[in-house]
Structure 1
Amino acid sequence: MTDFEIRKTQAADWFRSLRDTITRAFEALENTTDSDRPAGRFEVTPTQRDGGAGGGGIMSVMRGGRLFEKVGVNWSAVHGTLGERAQKAMAARGVPGMAEDPRFWASGISLVAHMRNPHCPAVHMNTRMFWTPGAWWFGGGADLNPCLEYAEDTAHFHAELQRACDAHDPGYYDRFKAWADEYFFIPHRGRARGVGGIFYDDLNSGGQDSDSWDADFAFTRAVGEAFLPAFVPLCEKRRVQDWSEAERDAQLVHRGLYAEYNLVYDRGTKFGLETGHDANAVLMSLPPLAKWI
């Protein structure tokens, strides 16, 4: 096994372990949320790409829980050859060698949570590694999507992400926050889909050497590990608040914005569908209910 095959395995294994950690934490939140409903549990389904020849993953979805109306925490490790459109898009982004060799490998975790209580914010997080014969890089981030905004919740979420960034590079937070503000913007609505967070892609900070890989993987782990401290306290604080029908209506309208963004603009949605990954896993980010005015 080559050094880089070992690194691929290390990354894929860590993304899967993060999935396990988060699903356990979310089921624990279900257990401690006061409700007449049964505590929610994840339904776990294996997924395959191209009949299994191109890898696959684990789709974990909880529906109808006490706290989580719908949440998906998916892990995947896939490989193969990019289709012509995806190959051209990668080449246009400047991926070395992509115009000549469309082979790829990718692994990561993707999470989207839609909450039952409108006072609890929806949230998204993902971290991933991508490899081609000419390059490798990491990407990811997290962003908060409340329908009813609380300034102190936004400040807490951003503070945890900044702490993760600052431990690795003092310039990362400002750079990746600005990237999130740009990326998670809905042009046809003229507004952001939430209150932001961080987003990064194509992270290969020092070229194709092992020291750079170690540092960039360590940062990506830090982003993943910051997620629960950033999000869980908000759930614990807001899940006890009563809500009105008007607040529920506002939540459903806001979910419509989330659905529009993910179907029209999101890179991960486009990549997953274009490369033949399980459509249910790719589209697990869509809310269980939404409303348009």
Structure 2
Amino acid sequence: MSDQMDSQKDRASAWFRTLRNDIVAAFEGLEDSHSSGPLADQPAARFEVSATKRASQDGSDAGGGLMSVMRGGRVFEKVGVNISTVYGQLGERAQAAMAARKGIPGMKDDPRFWASGISLVAHMQNPHCPAVHMNTRMFWTPHAWWFGGGSDLNPCLEYDEDTTHFHGVQKDHCDRHGDHYPRLKAWADEYFYIPHRNRARGVGGIFLDDHNTGDWEADFAFIQDIGRAFLPAFVPLIEKRRGATFGDAEKDAQLVHRGLYAEYNLVYDRGTKFGLETGHDANAVLMSLPPMAKWV
């Protein structure tokens, strides 16, 4: 069983890297193909790639990944596409949080873990283009394994047809695996909510966590389709909106909306808390923050 799980871990980690490569290529393609409209006369940007490391308490190898960030482009003001595979032992705070969340017995006696995934956040130059977040991941302990992730759209200037398209693609990919979309949409609406602002941070998407039906192959296929849904859900919106003209009022609305995004990620996001508590590279964990924001 251990050999089988090791093979499954390797397959999951390899898939996240493949998805990362597809997204990086697509985003650089958007930079290259933006030939008219605002900022089209600027050089096309490229991702800067650096290795990340997780710090273990005893100095032993604890994994890492790749941080890929593109800044100041024609289309993307800042976008990060990170992958990581980390492992080791959960600290006391992370053990307590995991035990409470999952109801897993034995975490204190055997706190080993392994986690792999991809995390993406894109902040756009043009305020008519929506910001977006996506992540998928696999998590393992000696006591349980599960998948999680999803994506949500964060426009500062909302277009109903864009929201319909984004959700429609997500639903199509979810429907290949059963009637999951209504539950995952409702979960995203609840999860990506900012209580202290009494509002959602965007127009939603899909979200799931702790996903384990007992059939690893089926669950892995499902999380792959959640990842595959991202590019066809998002890229057409950017191709449609990147040439729209904008002025100071639209840019101001974008910066204020980014403030909401920053508040959510720093106060509520589980991934941010987990990454910092388990010693992962802080720059990689916080790459989701926008390059500029404002508060009124």
Compute the TM-score of the two structures, normalised by the length of structure 2: 0.96
Of stretches 47-56 and 125-134 in structure 1, the one that deviates more from structure 2 is 47-56
In structure 2, C-alpha distance between the alignment counterparts of 1:84 and 1:12, rounded to whole Å: 26
8 Å contact kept, 1:81–1:102? yes
**In the alignment, what sits opposite 1:174?**
182
Q: How does 1:137-216 map to 2 (within 5 A)?
A: 137-170=146-179, 172-206=180-214, 212-216=215-219
Conserved in 2, the CA contact under 8 Å of 1:177 and 1:197? yes
CA-CA distance at 1:102 after TM superposition: 1.1
Q: Are residue 130 (structure 1) and residue 131 (structure 2) matched?
A: no
1:230 lines up with 2:239 in the alignment: no
Identity of aligned residues (%): 72
Contact 1:96 1:135 (8 Å CA) reproduced: no
Amino acid at match of 1:182: E
Residue type matched to 1:15 in 2? F
Of 231-240 and 49-58, the range deviating more from structure 2 = 49-58
1:48 has 2:53 as partner: yes
RMSD (CA atoms)? 0.9
Deviation at 1:169, TM superposition (A): 1.1
Q: 2: CA distance between counterparts of 1:104 and 1:24? A: 31
* Corresponding residue pairs, total: 287
Query: Displacement of 1:98 after TM fit?
Result: 2.2
CA gap 1:213/1:96 in 2 versus in 1, 3 angstroms: farther
Question: Relative to 1, partners in 2 of residues 1:191 and 1:126: Cα closer, same or farther, differing over 3 Å?
Answer: same
Gaps of 5+ in 2: none
Q: In structure 1, what residue type is equivalent to 2:19?
A: L
Residue 276 of structure 2 aligns with which residue? 273
Partner of 1:85: 93
Partners of 1:240 and 1:68 in 2: how far apart?
A: 13
Cα offset for 1:52? 6.7
Matched, 1:67 2:92: no
Structure 2 residue 241 is the aligned partner of structure 1 residue 241: no
Q: Mark the runs of 5 or more structure 1 residues left unpaired by the alignment.
A: 207-211
Q: TM-score, normalised by structure 1?
A: 0.96
